Amino acid sequence: MEWLDRMSRAISLMEKRMEGKTDIEELAREAYSSPFHFQRMFHMLTGFTVAEYIRRRKLTLAAQELASSSAKVLDIALKYGYESPESFSKAFRKAHGITPSEAREAGVSLKAFPRLSFHLSLKGVQDMDYRIVEKPAFRTLGIKITTSTEGGQNHRDITRFWQQAGGDGTIGKIAQLSPGKDLLGICGDMDLANERFDYWIAVENADRPADDEWQEFTVPATTWAVFPSVGPMPDTIQAVWRRIFEEWFPSTGYEHAAGPELEVYPEGDTSSSDYRCEVWIPIAKA
């Protein structure tokens, strides 16, 4: 219940700060967590980034104000943190499909993005296995893309990235960089405030230099919580991800340590009911 109250208080504070800019550090303090952990938890629990939620709520409130008042478009744009009528109009059209001026026409259809609320849901019927691992920094080689979390774009990009790498033989080449080592899916350089991060398909390799074909990424030394996933991909591992943030974090004294996240894929039939892989999350004591 405590984490539920913290997230609900943060939502209430967000709503009070809709006019103007929002301070992520202030919201995180309200949730008694680090800014990174707060943003990562919010995204995993709601499906929206903090920035995306605030953006949609502001445009909902702005539409209501346009439809019910005679305030100038410029004044409403500035009120909700937009620096110019042009930037406001572009965002408004993307959200509602019409211009701010058209929102004042009688009978026009507007979209409303409601305020979020958190409710208690009894979970944890099944035990959740995990282990704590201390691991020094290690170097990886592979390929990467930069993707956005806005609107779930990262899920589509990453799925396509794996399909392309598998279809053109790149995954096999990466595996041969370090025979016997597991393939890694790495979420690195996460810029949650700007809704972007790099995603790598890579393998641990300490010796081979980077070149025009392979780039290097160093995973820093940290403490990891390691969660097994047993079952066909991708449904099983996606369920593990949800449980980590919905059940494990709220019930432990840990929070996200703001480092890269790993998926570790041993060789095997990923469609098999007994395929085993792992999720590695960097953690720190809250």
For residue 125, the model assigns a pLDDT of: 57
* Pick from 50, 6, 47: nearest CA to 241: 47
Element (H, E) at 51: helix 50-68
The answer to whether residue 75 scores a pLDDT higher than 80 is yes
Mean pLDDT, to the nearest integer, of 250-266? 95
What's the pLDDT band for 1 if we cut at 50, 70, 90?
Answer: low
What's the pLDDT band for 120 if we cut at 50, 70, 90?
Answer: low
- Inter-residue contact 170 to 254 (CB < 8 Å): no
Quick: pLDDT tens for 127-141: 889 999 999 999 999
Work out the end-to-end distance of the chain between its first and last CA atoms, rounded to an integer number of angstroms: 17
Half-sphere exposure of 256 (CA within 13 A, CB side): 23
- Inter-residue contact 283 to 225 (CB < 8 Å): yes
- 269 exposure class (CB count in 10 Å sphere: 0-12, 13-18, 19+): exposed
The answer to whether residue 222 scores a pLDDT higher than 70 is yes
- Inter-residue contact 136 to 251 (CB < 8 Å): no
Q: Which domains does the chain have, with CATH numbers?
A: 2-104 (1.10.10.60), 131-285 (3.20.80.10)
Q: Which residues of 144-165 are buried (b: 16+ CB within 10 A; e: fewer)?
A: bbebbbeeeebeeebeebbeeb
The answer to whether residue 76 scores a pLDDT higher than 80 is yes
pLDDT top residue among 253 and 143: 143
For residue 276, the model assigns a pLDDT of: 97
Q: Could you tell me the CA-to-CA distances from 25 to 10, 37, 249 in Å, in that order?
A: 11, 11, 20
The answer to whether residue 19 scores a pLDDT higher than 80 is yes
Mean pLDDT, to the nearest integer, of 253-267? 96
**What whole-number distance in Å separates Cα of residue 188 and Cα of residue 282?**
11
**What whole-number distance in Å separates Cα of residue 153 and Cα of residue 145?**
12
Angle between helices 85-96 and 50-68 (to 10 degrees): 100
**What is the residue-averaged pLDDT of the chain?**
93
**What whole-number distance in Å separates Cα of residue 89 and Cα of residue 77?**
8
Angle between helices 50-68 and 35-46 (to 10 degrees): 70
Question: pTM for this structure?
Answer: 0.88
Neighbours of 62 (CB within 10 A): 26
